[in-house]
Amino acid sequence: MRLFIAEKPSLGRAIAAGLGNVEKRNGYIECGQDVVTWCFGHLLEMDQPEAYDEKYKVWRKEELPILPGTFNASVRKDAVVQMKIIGKLLRDAEMVVNAGDPDREGQLLVDEVLEYHDYAGFCERIWLAALDDKSVKKALTSMTDNSDYTGLRDAARARAQADWLVGMNCTRAMTLKGRDAGSQGVLSLGRVQTPTLALVVNRDLAIENFKPHPYFTLHVEIIHEAGSFTGTFQPLDTQKGLDDQGRLINPDEAYRLKKEVSSQAGKILEAYKEKKKKNPPLPHCLSSLQKAASSKLGMGAKQVLDVAQALYEKKLTTYPRSDCRYLPEEQFDEADSVLAALANVSGFEQIAGNTDCSIKSAAYNTKKVTAHHAIIPTGETPSNLSADESALYRMIAQIFCIQFYAAMEYEAQKILTGINHTVWKSTGRNILNSGWTAFIREQEDETAEDQILPEVHQNDGITAGQVDIKSQKTKPPARFTEGTLIEAMANIHRFIEDTEAKKTLKENEGIGTEATRAGIIETLKARQLIELQKKKIISTDLGRQLVKMAPEVLTDPVTTAQWESRLSGIVDGNESLSAFMTDQTTQVPELVKAIFDLQLDPLPGTHLCPECDRPLHRQKSKKGAWYWACFNQDGHAKPVFLNDKNGKPDLTPKKKIELSEHKCRACGKPLVKRESKKKGKGGKNNYWWGCSGFPKCKQTYFDDNGKPQFTEKKENNNGF
């Protein structure tokens, strides 16, 4: 028996359909001599610290760092039955096929199931970039030895173990340290999560600290015998009244220029024309799809991933977690059948029906294809799609169709005009052939002006017409959306000043991966470090506190980019899992020490202990009542407890306890006269007496005319 183990049921069903002779069973499908079963993502999850030792249940500084000698994993509670089914099938299998998704996590999640069951037989690997019948049958004839992908498995394992070490240790250390500054909750740190959060926080602070200032742009009508056109003032190096960005900010200078240029004669300094082509944008990878769908459809990053995954499982599009926008040249001959199928889809009759299959766009470049190719339609006919699925499918299909249209051809035009010792620039573009832009509005060159400039020559005379002054204000950077944050994570090098660091980040394609970036954003939202306001991402107070307190090494995106570089080295065989993890177990203690060495000022809004000026912490009793406490043993011998008053500690001075001359009969300590909360007869207050040794001694006495009532115990018959 040959046993296929798929990553998920939908993938298993697609493989079974490709094998034929389908007979469904409980947890698997029989296909003649073959059997297909499946996982539900990772069936095993890494153990929590307390699974290694009970002492880790309580977070303590002295227990850090936690460095397991061997990492253990346990079967998820909701996967126990399926794991048993797989184990039983493995005992009868003569050969196994790893049918995980075509990425490193897909490789690991099947390999770790085989390891869990101590399977030592032969195993092959099937690589499925698409789930349509044609792609599945083709993949079934081109399987390879699973051992060829040990690097992929080890890279996934290295990522998981290193993330565990950093996440568990640094989160505990930061949370414990944060309490010294008044932080009340868990302060979560992670190698991708934290630099991503820092991106958002830094952008928000830049916006809030931004101080707009006015500037002026000048535009003149230039009159030439061949026609009139508009020129924009270009300040020279000697121009007065400019800011550090070369913008004119002096209004007096702006009006002086207007007066000196209006109606004056001038000449053409330079006339430039060049024929250019603009190729269609490449097919989508996941991050470009997330950015486009966020902008045009208002969809969140995770929503795009989920919908793209649904389209993949419905066999309509190829594998969604791709970081590549290119296609294998070997697939070029298959395009005509896909386009023919799209021509029958409602709304695509024109764009797909007028394609030219002889055009081979720049997208077809095998050398630039990574582990996956771009996301494209498979040629299967869509039906019963949700509104989101339909919209995203059309976005994917449309950009695929325009690969088979001619490039947009245009004439780029530029004219420099001199008027009374000033220079004015005019740009234009004359469309010669709209090509693919007839179907998709061009958005990548929003600065291009649509004016068509007349035929002029150098030294031609002109006359300046009216000069218009436009008063504008500098603008802060835009807040992130989920789409633009995904793009920023993928192109993090744009936010870095250091040349070498910028190069490292660019080579490693940013922080996170196509498969994980949406999840990182969801994690930040779930942990209340960021929030959405009208589809804009805003950092919360907790998020800002965390970035402010976290060590720079964890907010610096170069750190995680270097990780990704080494993980890629493990995939390629240039790096080993053991060497990578050895370095992590060396670096994590240094990270923990760096966190505990931080000098933190009390956070804004922190309430301080009245006895030692250390932050108070709000806690809930077993009965559900809130109170405030300080356990600083260096500042006072006993813990300080304060009542909660409307979410704040009640700092009202307590009445001074007056000790009486009467002694407690149980422990000998002075008694204290106390007023009862209940009123006695006639509305009078009643009193009682308690021991000043409370809470160790809980002895109480009734009041007898202003004195404690000591009741003598009767002696028994034996005289005791």
Catalytic residues: 319
Distance of alpha carbon 516 from alpha carbon 192, whole angstroms: 9
DSSP letters, 196-242, are HHHHHHHHHHHHHT----EEEEEEEEEEETTEEEEEEEE--TT-SSB
Q: Is the dihedral of CA 323, 305, 313, 11 positive or negative?
A: positive
Distance of alpha carbon 328 from alpha carbon 338, whole angstroms: 15
Distance of alpha carbon 252 from alpha carbon 269, whole angstroms: 27
Contact between residue 218 and residue 233 where contact means Cβ atoms under 8 Å apart:
yes
Position 482: which residue type?
Answer: E
Distance of alpha carbon 165 from alpha carbon 485, whole angstroms: 26
Residue ranges of E strands in 26-94 = 28-31, 34-38, 44-46, 73-75
Residue labelled with tokens 């999840």: 519
Distance of alpha carbon 442 from alpha carbon 648, whole angstroms: 56
- What separation in angstroms does the CA of 44 have from each of 139, 156, 520, 585, 614? 27, 14, 21, 23, 43
Helix extents (H) in 62-211 = 80-92, 104-116, 133-140, 150-179, 193-208
Distance of alpha carbon 513 from alpha carbon 565, whole angstroms: 12
Distance of alpha carbon 569 from alpha carbon 562, whole angstroms: 11
Angle at 308 between CA 391 and CA 384, to 5 degrees: 55
Q: What is the DSSP-derived secondary structure letter of residue 456?
A: -
